[in-house]
Amino acid sequence: MLSGTRIVTCSPSSLNRPKLLLVDDHPANLLVLTKMLQSLDVDLVTTSNGRDALAAVAKEDFAAILLDVQMPEMDGFETARHLRAQPGESPIPIIFITASDRLPTTAHQGYASGAIDFLYKPIDRFLLLCKLNVLLDLYRHRRQLDDASRALLRINQQMKQLLLSVGDGIIGIAENGLVDFINPAACTLLQAGAVDLIGTPVQAATGCVRLNHAAPDSVFATAQLEAESTLRGEIRFRGQQGREFDTEYVLSMVTPPAGGGGASWVFVFRDISERQRAIARLRQLAEHDLLTGLANRAHFDRELARLISDAASRNRTCGLMFIDLDGFKRVNDRLGHACGDDLLTEIGRRLRKRFPPPFLCARLGGDEFGVLLPEGITAAQASDLSDVVINLIQMPHYYGGEPLVVSASIGIALYPEHATAQSLLLRAADLAMYVAKGDRNNRVVFAGPAAN
Number of domains in the chain: 3
**Shared-domain flag, residues 221 and 320:** no
**Shared-domain flag, residues 391 and 413:** yes
CATH number for the domain including 430? 3.30.70.270
**Shared-domain flag, residues 261 and 297:** no
**Shared-domain flag, residues 293 and 440:** yes
CATH number for the domain including 261? 3.30.450.20
154 domain-assigned: no
**Shared-domain flag, residues 121 and 15:** yes
**Shared-domain flag, residues 302 and 260:** no
pLDDT digit of tens for each residue in the chain (452 aa)?
444 555 555 545 556 789 999 999 999 999 999 999 999 989 999 999 989 999 999 888 899 999 998 888 888 889 889 888 877 667 889 998 887 767 777 778 888 888 888 888 888 899 999 999 999 999 999 888 888 888 888 877 777 777 666 778 888 888 888 888 888 889 989 988 989 899 988 888 887 754 443 433 555 555 554 555 678 888 888 888 888 888 888 888 877 766 566 678 888 999 998 988 898 888 888 899 999 999 999 999 999 999 999 999 999 999 999 999 999 999 989 999 999 999 999 999 999 999 999 999 999 999 999 999 999 999 999 999 999 999 999 999 999 888 999 999 999 999 999 999 999 999 999 999 999 988 666 689 999 876 54
Nearest to 347 by CA among 423, 283, 405: 405
157 domain-assigned: no
232, 249, 276 - which closes a domain: 276
160 domain-assigned: no
308 domain-assigned: yes
CA distance 163 to 320: 57
283 domain-assigned: no
153 domain-assigned: no
276, 311, 329 - which closes a domain: 276
The domain in which residue 231 lies consists of: 167-276
**Shared-domain flag, residues 305 and 442:** yes
- pLDDT of 221: 55
